Amino acid sequence: MDTNERFESVDDDYIEFDRVENKKNSRPDIHAFILLSELFPNKTSNMVCAAGHDQTLLDVEGDEIEKLTDDNILELVRCGVSYDENTDSLTMSA
């Protein structure tokens, strides 16, 4: 299953933050940022690498996304994180 299919398979849980167990913060976006920071602790750049009218690109892409477990993806999707196939990166809608 490719990355896009992995994210689409849990699309029914999109922005269902109430289903996240062990919340790291009461805000879904902050929870997602903390989770990604824990998963990729050696990164030193800002989490938000670009932003447009309705989309925020996160500094997690390519090989890093492939390292995410299915549980990681489910938790991120519940926080409002998506995968953008065009940029091969994680995104959040504004």
Q: CA-CA distance, 39 to 72, in Å (whole number)?
A: 9
pTM, full prediction: 0.92
The predicted-structure confidence for 55-67, as pLDDT tens digits, reads as follows 899 999 889 999 9
Strands annotated E in 13-78: 48-51, 55-61
Using only the alpha carbons of the chain, give its radius of gyration.
12
Q: Is pLDDT of 94 > 80?
A: no
